[in-house]
Each structure stands twice: as C-alpha cells, then as structure tokens.
Amino acid sequence: MFGNITSSMLLAILPEIALLVLITVIFIADLVLHGKQNSNLAGITAVGIAAIFVLTLIYARPGETDELVWGGMLRHDWLAFVFKLLFLASGFITTLFTIGWESVWRKGEFYVLLLTSLLGMTLMAASADLIMLFLAIETTSIPLYVMAGFMTNNDKSTESGFKYLLFGAMTTAVMLYGLSLLYGLAGTSNIYAMAESIAARAIPSPVLVGTLLLILLGFGFKVALVPLHFWAPDVYEGAPTPVTAFLSTASKAAGFAVLARVMIAAFPSILADWQTIIAIAAALSMIVGNVVALTQTNIKRLLAYSSIAHAGYALLGIAAASELGVLSVVYYFLVYAVTNLAAFGVVIIVYHTTGSDEISDYAGLSRRSPMLALAMLLAFLSLAGVPPLGGFIAKVLAFAAAVDAGFVWLAVLGVLNSIVGLYYYLIVLKVVYLFPPKDEKAIPTRRSHGIALATSVLLVLLLGVVLAPWYDWAAASAASLF
C-alpha cells in the first residue's frame, strides 16, 4: 500500500512506535504489578517517555528537505519534530506530577490514556492529510475527556469530563462537516495538494471562507479561543490538576501546530480573510481572557483564563502568516508549556498539603516554603512576560511578528493586555509574599515533584537567557512551512 517501507519512513514515526511499545509495557505492568507495586507505574511511564524523548532527539531529526511519508499522510519536518519533543517533555513532567495524586496515580489505565493522548498529539503535529488529521485529533481528545473525568468519586471532576466530552463532540462534528466540505471542494484530502487544487478549481472565496469557519470551530475549541473558550475554566477546575496541566500545555500546543500548518499550507488563496478572522479571535481571546481572569479567586480558574489570553498572544504569530510569525508561535509554546507546567506544578504541590485551590490559601507561601514561592514567582513573572524569563522573549517575538506584518494595532492591544495580565499575576504573588500565612507549617515536596518543578523552572530561565539554540529550532520549524 505504501510501496517500500524505507528507514526514513520508520524514523518519521519513531516516537509513535515507541509510544505504542510503552503503552503495551504499561498494560502488561498493570497486570503484573499488585497492590503497592502499582505506584511504580508512574515511574515506568516517566522513564519511558524520557527515553522516547532522547531517542526522538537523536534519531528522528528531519533531514534537509521536508518529505511527505506514508502515502502523504504525514510530513516529516521540523515543525513536527519540535512539537513532538515539546509534547514528550510535557508528558514527562506531567507524569511526574501525577505521582501521589489520589485515585489517579496507581491506575494503569490512566497512564495508558495519557500515552495514547500523547500519541495522538505527535500525529497531530505531523498530519498532512485531512483524514489523518481528524483521526489524530480524536486520538488526542477522547483520552483527554476520560482523563478530565477520571476522579469518578468527585462531582466536579465528573462534571468536567462530561462537559468536555459534550462540547468536544459537538465542535468535532462541526469540524468534520467542514473537513468533508473542504474535501468536496478541493477534491483532495492532502493538505499540501489543497492550495493548488483550490486555485485550479477557482472555488469562490465566500464558500471557502465559510468552510474554513466550520473547521476553525473545531481548532478553536481545542485551543480554547474566544468565543469557544467557555468550557475551559470549568474543565480546568474540575479535572485532576495534573490533567489540567497537560490539557493547558501539550493539548493546546498540538492545536496550534495543526492551526499553523493547515492555515499556511491550505488557504493561501484567502489569506487576507483568514488573517482578519485570526486577528479578531486573537484580540477577543486576549481581552476576554485577561479581563475575566481579574475576578478569579480559584487559582486553576485563574490559570484557565490566563491560558485563554496566552492563546490570544500566540495567535498574533499565526495572524502574521509569516516565517517570523510561525517562529514566534513555536517559541511561544516552548516557553508557555514549561512555564505553565511550573505554575501548575506549584498548584499541585500546594494542593497535596492544603487540599485547596483557593488563591487565599496561598497566603504566606513564601514564609512556609521559600523555594516553592520562588518557583511560583518565576513561573508567574514569565507568564507576565518579564525578563530574564522565557515569557519575555516569547512576547517580544509575538509582538515583533505582528509589527512586522503590519498589525501594529494588534501588537498595541497585546501590549496593553499584558499589563492587565501583569496585574492579576502580581495580585497572586502579593498573596504569596505579603499576606501572613494561616498555618506556619512548611509544605513538603515529593522528590519527583521537586525534580519536575526544578526542570520546568530551569527551562523557563534557559529559554529567557540562552536564546540562540531555541531560536534556531523555532526558525527551522517555521521554515518547514514556507
């Protein structure tokens, strides 16, 4: 069916194959391990993902030219490569954070779901065909629905999973409708043959824009853009916090990888139209995300709205539709993923001791556990876009892309929004540093959590100070789309 299977084709799906192997290993381990031994499952998963990360980094590096492999289903290029590494890293850190989370961490099926979702994401980043794309999105989403509702004895978690499923199913259906329309119009399901075919068939642009809107409904839901954001705060709040961390980083990044690839490759004929649509979505997401975040009293909801706002900033790069734009998106997600993982990491560690996600219960954290407070300070300041942390570079690149593409108004709006953002991040830090603690006891940190948190914080710093290597990766990813 695919002709001869060459080594490069296998290398292109090396992470996927390895993830499948790991999933099998977890299945077997779950059967073999009993009682207390089950706590090793998380460790096996984490080590496995780390090994896959290293394997991918060494062997799955794309060559000079970008190639379509597996009958045009996947594209082996830098964008896919960098995003796959990003997902694996997020998966690794998330797995470490699941350790100790009651009703989650001794269950084999949870890690199988996590790995399956990860597998879907790696395919999403590489998909070059509408069919593959849809399958990848579903492979990613369905495990996430279950993971969000995994704590079946907890009403909020159940609500979260159910809400996510219902809204997800509805928008997916609409998106599928859009994809089928697109296939009908273009006569091909390959994303890279789409533009040519659309041009050849002289499809009227209103029809194409309509179809695009249907598809964007699905993509927009995945990355929680306004006006498709309404699910995010409830789902983020109810889901087990490690799942929330995974949702808000890897899952969102996967959505953006797809968004960048499809928009740039398939729709050059209606460039100006979709740029406007994306710019409006970016503006709305920034404004709504930031303004509503101001009133939140629950840290998970606050981070949910902040993540909506961040999707807005990242969209600036897509709206720019330039190499610098895509570059900024990639850089943005490298930074945003590690930053948000660090932020949620603190939330997870604090929850283990206080059993609360209310911001007021963070009072005096800096007196109880200065290091934890410091990690939170760095994560939140990075989200606010303060140097020498990664968030600053990410924002500068996003604004630079917007200015370069002539969207000065969008850059100015982004800048003003980042002030609003700064305000609510500082409010949280004020609680952490200024208010007296209700309870003087130190907050213990598990070693696995400590490792995960230290890794993320270190990466936040590295992304903000040592710029050139990351920039090269982001630039190579952007170049592979043009």
Residues 405-444 close enough to bind another protein by CB under 8 A: 408, 411-412, 415-416, 418-419, 422-423, 426, 429-430, 433-434
Q: Which of 209, 280, 403, 454 contacts another protein by CB under 8 A?
A: 403
55 DSSP β-pair partners: none
Residue closer to another protein by CB (options 23, 428) is 428
187-217: string of b/e by CB count within 10 Å (b at 16+)? Answer: ebbbbbbbbeebeeeebeeeebeebbebbbb
Question: Measured from the CB atom, is 187 or 450 closer to another protein?
Answer: 450
CB of 397 to another protein, least distance (A): 9
Whether residue 240 contacts residue 156, with contact meaning beta carbons closer than 8 Å, is answered with no
Q: In whole angstroms, give the CA distance from residue 161 to residue 145.
A: 5
Binding track, positions 361-400, relative to another protein; x by CB under 8 A: -----xx--x---x--x---x----xxx---x---x--xx
In the complex, the smallest distance separating the C-beta of residue 255 from another protein, rounded to whole angstroms, is: 27
Q: Which is nearer to another protein, 2 or 409 (CB)?
A: 409
Q: Which stretch binds another protein (CB under 8 A): 66-74, 80-88, 224-232, 403-411?
A: 403-411
> With contact defined as beta carbons under 8 Å apart, do 315 and 325 qualify?
no
Tokens representing 168 are: 């997800």
Percentage helix, strand, coil for the chain under 3-state DSSP, each rounded to 5 = 80, 0, 20
Helix (H) or strand (E) holding 68: strand 67-69
Smaller CB separation from another protein, 25 or 374: 374
Q: Indicate the residue among 256 and 392 with the shorter CB distance to another protein.
A: 392
Find all residues with CB under 8 Å of 450, minimum gap 6, and list them: none
- Rounded to an integer, what distance in angstroms lies between the CA atom of residue 23 and that of residue 29? 10
Of all helices (H) and strands (E), which one includes residue 441? Answer: none
CB of 261 to another protein, least distance (A): 22
Size of the site for another protein (CB under 8 A): 34
Q: Is 150 in the site for another protein (CB under 8 A)?
A: no
Under rule CB under 8 A, residue 404 binds another protein: yes
Binding-site member from 33, 176, 287, 475 for another protein (CB under 8 A)? 475
Binding mask 242-271 for another protein (x = CB under 8 A): ------------------------------
Binding of residue 183 to another protein (CB under 8 A)? no
Nearer to another protein, 126 or 460 (CB): 460
> In the structure encoding, which two tokens stand for residue 210, read together?
């309509």
Instruction: Kindly write down the DSSP assignment for every residue of 19-61, as one continuous string.
Output: HHHHHHHHHHHHHH--GGGGGHHHHHHHHHHHHHHHHHHHH--
Farthest CA pair distance, the chain: 71
Residues forming the site for another protein (CB under 8 A): 366-367, 370, 374, 377, 381, 386-388, 392, 396, 399-400, 403-404, 408, 411-412, 415-416, 418-419, 422-423, 426, 429-430, 433-434, 467-468, 471-472, 475
